[in-house]
Structure 1
Amino acid sequence: MSNQFQLMREQRFRPFFFTQFLGAFNDNAFKTALITLVTFRAGQLTTLDGKMLATLLPGLFILPFFLFSATSGQIADKYEKSMLVRLTKCLEIGIMLLAAWGFMARSFWPLVAALFLMGAQSTLFGPVKYAYLPQHLREEELIGGNGMVEMGTFVAILAGEILGAWLAMANDGALLTSATVIAVAVAGYWVSRGVPHSPAADPQLRINWNPVSETWRNLKFARGNRTVWLSLLGTSWFWFYGATILAQFPTFTKDVLHGDESVFILLLTVFSLGIGIGSLLCEKLSGGKVEIGLVPFGAIGLTVFGVDLYWASLNAGAASLPAGLAHGAYDFLGALGQATHWRVLLDIALLGLFGGFYIVPLYALIQTRSEKSHQSRIIAANNILNALFMVISAVVSMALFALGLSIPQLFLATALFNVVVAAYIYRLVPEFLIRFVVWLLVHSAYRLEKRGIEQVPESGGALLVSNHTSLADVLLITAASVRPPRFAIDPRHFARPLLGAVLREGRAIPLPGEAGQVGEAARDGAPSAAMQTAQAAIESALAAGEIVVVFPETGTEADGQVRPFCPWFAALLEVLRARHPATPVLPLALHGLEDSAFAAARLRLGQRLARLRPFRRVAVTVGAPQAASAAAAESVRQALCFLADAQTVQSRL
């Protein structure tokens, strides 16, 4: 796929996309219509306080995610998924008929029941939704596919909320709302008939129908994979943050911005478009791979623009209303005419944008690093945590209001606490922060061209043999690689500040090359002890299905030419030929850094500064693989020389 939009031409993706789109649209059209009625016209349905209901009703919708997600995850792993998709759409039709009765009869409790049941229906669909993608998309399509789904979800949320708010306030709103939610449910079922067959991940699974014990077991299983578990916590925090902001939009519009229903719709529009654009940009910014370096980037934006939203809200709230304003509130045109409101809108849009950068890579990471047979149950664990955090969000918001905090102060507290949560996660999993630094460095200092990266196998062990041109080689290869590589490298590099952190986090293998010429036979003809240790570590990593990168040249020169290989590389190939003959060996050529500020040659600080050139064009080229059984040190070196020379001839960087 050249870009994510081409997935819309594929039968494996298009029906699923529109099925989930219509489901999210209908959820939010119904939910927003109900919340708008209780916020602005509560007396038509109930005598309960509208502000309290606006906070409680979203919590009621997500409560089933906490109660029933574990069971739903088991069902999604046990049964064929396209059948489950169509079943959930049939349930949606029945629930919308109940909601229509509530709207037409102006009866509050049937609407509350329908809201809870729609949450239960979405709970069943959730594990199917996110486990479907890795079953039908290749790994390099997952970022684009997740971006499309997140974009579609939030556009559907936007459209559903706009329509729901409009329907709630329209003449004959009850009839129009009822007809709309039923029609959309029927359309969703019709589209779902095109979702392709999706085999069960674990058809022999015995379902535990006890939601309490299964929820506990589900969470315990998810904790077994530390990176996945912390990614689940990361997504759940995002939903805490988002739920806190979105739940206050109706009252924020009315009490702080002095706006009417159209201003509420404007805020939803801006936020949802921000998330949609951020989700789509993830594929461009990540180069089509699972780039978790975007997660800290998104977290920074969530804090910066959350804090600025507080200050912007104070300015907007302090502005006096014009005399004689109709109904005592701005409509959306009047709000757009106020300079103070533009800053609020910009902050909300950027919160959405950076939220997209934050959430899409986390979902892709969860999908790629979860066990295939348990993917739906991992997604179910994610839904449990998301629901728990959103319920906690409602409770915390009410507690802070009881302490006297205003809505802008709630926004500020949430943005500042985001710093604490991010720091905690990145301390436990430095991979997130290191990937961010690598991504930022490569995308701010260089223009990276990747050629032949598809030659690297999607799974299984592989040995990449690279030329050594600069101190930034490890960072560029890490940034270019679809899979996280391990480096076998001179241990002196571990002492360098950023490079050492990348090597330690990536579990690099100490392999003294030019420093000690490891691998040369000892005087008795046996390999040195250091070489035996290094060989064993490389062999173990390859056997475990990991990518290992080695730099076997005897030296590094400013002309960028490939030097003769150290003897230890031939010894390593002998080991692989005997024990792992099918392991692919691939040459990897780096170009464009040999005369840069990070060149491996010994230079003074002034000389390095003189070589700084922003957005320097650099390239990473991977050649065709050779099986270890047929690879020889000289043939691999010749292939590497050809890549480096061909690269130079074809493109002067």
Structure 2
Amino acid sequence: MAPETPDTTTTAAVPDPHAGLPVARSQFGLLRQRRFLPFFLVQALGAFNDNVFRQAIIGMLYWLGASSEDKALYASLAPAVFILPYFLFSGLAGQVAEKLEKHRLIRITTAMEIAIMSLAAVGFGLQSLPVLLVALFCTGVQSTLFGPVKYSILPAVLRPEELTGGNGLVEMGTSMSILLGMILGGLLFKLTGELGPWAAGGTVIALAVLGNVVSRLIPRVDAGAPDLNINWNPIPESVHMLRLARRQVAVRNSVLGVSWFWFIGTALTSQLPVYAETWLGGGATLYIFALALFSVGTGAGSLLCEKLSGRTVEIGLVPLGAFGISAFVLDLYFARHALPAATGLDVLGFLRSAGSWRIVMDLTGIGVFAGFFVVPLFALIQSRTPKQELSRVFAGLNIQNSGFIVAGALLPLAAQKLLGWTIPQVFLALAVLNTLVAAWIFTIVPEFLMRFLSWLLVRVLYKLKVRGVERHVPDEGAALITCNHVSYMDALILSASIPRPVRFVMYYRIFNIPIMRWIFKHAKAIPIASAKEDPELLRRAMAEIDAALAEGELVGIFPEGALTKDGEIAPFKSGVEHILERAAARGQDVPVVPMALKGMWSSMWSRRDTRLGRMRVPRRFRAHVEVVADAPLDGASVDAATLEARIRALRGEDA
């Protein structure tokens, strides 16, 4: 069947802000493009330099033979000194990041870094802990200013389908930079001896200068809200930003999820030094090895998100990540909850000891599933937050994160001091607590769990390819999703392809399929029947459709009204026109997004199979299926015939 030429006269004139961006076929292709690579290098260099600096201070204290009181003083003050600016200045930082061009702000913050690291170099030269703590506070101020722009810049320089991959690269770069920075900072004084203070000072200045040079390669990125009036009072503005982050339920709980990630990460990594020495029988090198396993795992999990999500913002990975973290932390408790027989082990000695590879697997697995957990959350916040508020939302996130980080450091310590818990018992408590918190989040926001179930089912049963969905389905506001109807799995496949939740209108007999009914109900699908079958159900369905569109939700319909019987698209019924007329009558112009399912007729659970055939494992298991979306049509003028022609053209010859 030859594809029909689409009628473009009714296409809504919606400008695409990403139209001029080059195309990257994978996340690694972004590393060859100027719109992403300089920013990626700047944020990686910043994280690397911060950790070189902080670890070099520890190295200097040991090099000087500092007393245990001085070491304890630094250990107590350093985290508080670094994190205090997040509480004090995030309100200002979010506004500045919204008002200034993002490339300009990055250059300002990297120039600040040069000045701060020059002060740090003076502190190293004078071997003065107070000067170094002042520089550390200033580093926290600089990080506070950079934080909101770090993530708010990505939606401006990446296409929607690149958000997950871009965030995965940023998380991978950050994790590896932190690890490598700690290693280099810890080695500086050991490798350079008497020249240690000069080597440390010179290194942090050189890295800051390099970051500023690279920042000048970042292309222009406009401000989110250039006319914003800055409120210099930090307290009410911080409260306002926290409220911005909680406006939408999914964004609010994604922000909570990111903060919870920082709590779990801090609680785990803060225990690793003592855990490596006391429970694994090692020393400083074994602690770095344990941290490396966690960091490499997080980087690998972050990179895998794009592959697993099919280049969409797939929050279905979040439940997988949450329960995966719990499983591996729980196994870490069972892997070693008795003191080891040997002590003073290096990495090779540890790897030769009994049960070591199980611990290696657990630490790496925690990192991998942490990547699955946090990357989709960042991408969701970016995709569903209005662009003129995004920097302030991330500033609010940083305020909340800092509180969770403090709690993640203090609560395990309190449990050990006050309750006498061992570190493995802390791990057990974290596994249980993480499971309970995850279950609570997924209960109050069923979208997370529904996305996971649809993602799991679709990717187990099909080989899915998605084209045009991230570009043409609006990030916010109402729209009517329309598609040809081929199988009983169509709604789940579309749910797994569209980043936002969709209220599907489906024939009540399909809605009531055992097991699937539970999924459809919690996904807020709308069962419908014809006027002859159940006029009251039809009335309720139309009222639900009206309410969903009025509230800015996506509504999905299959205009054929039934599954295809022969693989061909049946004539579209007038129901779509009726929905749009009702919307117009209340003053709402709803765009219509045409979509097509390709390859479904030859897949399982279409009517190509007999009823008996649909009940057994089909021969067409893991069929290649494609979802294609086109530019939205103007709901004020589209009719069923035009929409049918557009979807026929999208589908082409492949049903």
TM-score normalised by L of structure 2: 0.86
Question: Residues 227 and 24 (structure 1 numbering): CA distance in 2 closer, same or farther, change over 3 Å?
Answer: same
Match of 2:126 in 1: 105
Match of 2:6 in 1: none
Contact 1:597–1:612 under 8 Å retained in 2: no
Counterpart pick for 1:479 among 463, 484, 496: 496
Deviation at 1:413, TM superposition (A): 1.5
Contact 2:231–2:237 under 8 Å retained in 1: yes
Counterpart pick for 2:296 among 273, 293, 304: 273
Counterpart pick for 1:85 among 106, 111, 119: 106
Match of 1:420 in 2: 436
Match of 1:200 in 2: 223
Give, as a single letter, the amino acid of the residue that structure 2 aligns with 1:120.
Answer: V
CA-based RMSD of the aligned residues comes to 3.2
Contact 1:42–1:49 under 8 Å retained in 2: no
CA distance in 1, matches of 2:593, 2:286: 60
Report whether the alignment pairs 1:73 with 2:89.
Answer: no
Contact 2:102–2:223 under 8 Å retained in 1: yes
Q: Which runs of 5+ in 1 are unaligned?
A: 322-328, 519-527, 649-653
Match of 1:17 in 2: 40
Contact 2:447–2:501 under 8 Å retained in 1: no
CA distance in 2, matches of 1:593, 1:382: 45
2:465 is paired with a residue of what secondary structure?
Answer: strand
Point out the more displaced range, 196-205 or 532-541: 532-541
Contact 1:222–1:378 under 8 Å retained in 2: yes
1:371 is paired with a residue of what secondary structure?
Answer: coil
Contact 2:483–2:557 under 8 Å retained in 1: yes
Report whether the alignment pairs 1:608 with 2:626.
Answer: no
1:372 is paired with a residue of what secondary structure?
Answer: coil
Give, as a single letter, the amino acid of the residue that structure 1 aligns with 2:329.
Answer: G
Counterpart pick for 1:169 among 190, 193, 198: 190
Report whether the alignment pairs 1:293 with 2:309.
Answer: no
Deviation at 1:357, TM superposition (A): 0.6
CA distance in 2, matches of 1:603, 1:288: 34
Deviation at 1:206, TM superposition (A): 2.6
Match of 2:507 in 1: 490
Deviation at 1:634, TM superposition (A): 4.6
2:450 is paired with a residue of what secondary structure?
Answer: helix
Give, as a single letter, the amino acid of the residue that structure 1 aligns with 2:396.
Answer: A
Report whether the alignment pairs 1:511 with 2:515.
Answer: no
Match of 2:51 in 1: 28
Question: Residues 587 and 367 (structure 1 numbering): CA distance in 2 closer, same or farther, change over 3 Å?
Answer: closer
Counterpart pick for 1:550 among 557, 571, 579: 557
Counterpart pick for 2:487 among 470, 478, 491: 470
CA distance in 2, matches of 1:225, 1:643: 33
Give, as a single letter, the amino acid of the residue that structure 1 aligns with 2:485.
Answer: H
Deviation at 1:5, TM superposition (A): 1.6
1:589 is paired with a residue of what secondary structure?
Answer: strand
Report whether the alignment pairs 1:586 with 2:594.
Answer: yes
Match of 2:151 in 1: 130
Deviation at 1:431, TM superposition (A): 0.5
Counterpart pick for 1:145 among 155, 160, 166: 166
Give, as a single letter, the amino acid of the residue that structure 2 aligns with 1:485.
Answer: V
Question: Residues 249 and 177 (structure 1 numbering): CA distance in 2 closer, same or farther, change over 3 Å?
Answer: farther
CA distance in 2, matches of 1:133, 1:145: 7
Give, as a single letter, the amino acid of the residue that structure 1 aligns with 2:443.
Answer: R
Report whether the alignment pairs 1:335 with 2:350.
Answer: yes
Contact 1:278–1:356 under 8 Å retained in 2: yes
Aligned length: 627
Contact 1:557–1:601 under 8 Å retained in 2: no
Question: Residues 49 and 614 (structure 1 numbering): CA distance in 2 closer, same or farther, change over 3 Å?
Answer: farther
Question: Residues 252 and 110 (structure 1 numbering): CA distance in 2 closer, same or farther, change over 3 Å?
Answer: farther
Point out the more displaced range, 89-98 or 562-571: 562-571
Deviation at 1:360, TM superposition (A): 0.6
2:654 is paired with a residue of what secondary structure?
Answer: helix
Question: Residues 6 and 399 (structure 1 numbering): CA distance in 2 closer, same or farther, change over 3 Å?
Answer: same
Percentage identity across paired residues of the two chains = 43
Q: Which runs of 5+ in 2 are unaligned?
A: 1-23
CA distance in 2, matches of 1:456, 1:212: 39
CA distance in 2, matches of 1:226, 1:464: 22
CA distance in 1, matches of 2:611, 2:250: 39
Contact 2:573–2:640 under 8 Å retained in 1: no
Point out the more displaced range, 8-17 or 47-56: 47-56
CA distance in 2, matches of 1:132, 1:452: 22
CA distance in 1, matches of 2:394, 2:466: 32
CA distance in 1, matches of 2:246, 2:471: 34
CA distance in 2, matches of 1:152, 1:255: 30
Contact 1:585–1:631 under 8 Å retained in 2: no
Contact 1:469–1:556 under 8 Å retained in 2: yes
Contact 1:309–1:408 under 8 Å retained in 2: yes
Give, as a single letter, the amino acid of the residue that structure 2 aligns with 1:109.
Answer: P
Deviation at 1:320, TM superposition (A): 2.5
Deviation at 1:263, TM superposition (A): 1.8
Contact 2:312–2:470 under 8 Å retained in 1: no
CA distance in 1, matches of 2:429, 2:413: 13
Match of 1:284 in 2: 307
Point out the more displaced range, 571-580 or 494-503: 571-580
* Residues 525-584 of structure 1, C-alpha deviations (whole Å, 9 max, x = no match): xxx887677567656756776543222335436643444444545655777899888944
> What are the residue-to-residue correspondences of 1:199-218 with 2, within 5 Å?
199-218=222-241
Contact 1:46–1:108 under 8 Å retained in 2: no
CA distance in 2, matches of 1:75, 1:474: 43
* Residues 294-327 of structure 1, C-alpha deviations (whole Å, 9 max, x = no match): 1111101110111111222336x42334xxxxxx
1:450 is paired with a residue of what secondary structure?
Answer: strand
* Residues 124-147 of structure 1, C-alpha deviations (whole Å, 9 max, x = no match): 110111111112222222111111
Counterpart pick for 2:401 among 365, 386, 400: 386
Contact 1:580–1:628 under 8 Å retained in 2: no
Deviation at 1:216, TM superposition (A): 2.2
Contact 1:63–1:391 under 8 Å retained in 2: no
> What are the residue-to-residue correspondences of 1:300-315 with 2, within 5 Å?
300-314=323-337
Match of 1:184 in 2: 207
Report whether the alignment pairs 1:441 with 2:462.
Answer: no
Contact 2:313–2:379 under 8 Å retained in 1: yes
Structure number with the bigger relative contact order (C-alpha 8 A, sep ≥ 6) is 2
Contact 1:446–1:617 under 8 Å retained in 2: yes
Counterpart pick for 1:405 among 421, 429, 436: 421
Report whether the alignment pairs 1:320 with 2:321.
Answer: no
CA distance in 1, matches of 2:606, 2:215: 54
Contact 1:560–1:591 under 8 Å retained in 2: no
Deviation at 1:225, TM superposition (A): 2.3
Question: Residues 14 and 640 (structure 1 numbering): CA distance in 2 closer, same or farther, change over 3 Å?
Answer: closer
Match of 1:522 in 2: none
Contact 2:488–2:605 under 8 Å retained in 1: no
1:292 is paired with a residue of what secondary structure?
Answer: coil
2:337 is paired with a residue of what secondary structure?
Answer: helix
Counterpart pick for 1:353 among 368, 390, 395: 368
Match of 1:364 in 2: 379
Match of 2:254 in 1: 231
1:367 is paired with a residue of what secondary structure?
Answer: helix
Counterpart pick for 2:69 among 48, 60, 76: 48
Deviation at 1:179, TM superposition (A): 1.7
CA distance in 1, matches of 2:603, 2:206: 65
Give, as a single letter, the amino acid of the residue that structure 2 aligns with 1:435.
Answer: R
CA distance in 1, matches of 2:593, 2:97: 39
Question: Residues 50 and 206 (structure 1 numbering): CA distance in 2 closer, same or farther, change over 3 Å?
Answer: same
Deviation at 1:469, TM superposition (A): 3.2
TM-score normalised by L of structure 1: 0.86
Match of 2:654 in 1: 647
Contact 2:120–2:131 under 8 Å retained in 1: yes
Question: Residues 162 and 512 (structure 1 numbering): CA distance in 2 closer, same or farther, change over 3 Å?
Answer: same
Question: Residues 59 and 442 (structure 1 numbering): CA distance in 2 closer, same or farther, change over 3 Å?
Answer: farther
Contact 2:110–2:211 under 8 Å retained in 1: yes
CA distance in 2, matches of 1:629, 1:203: 33
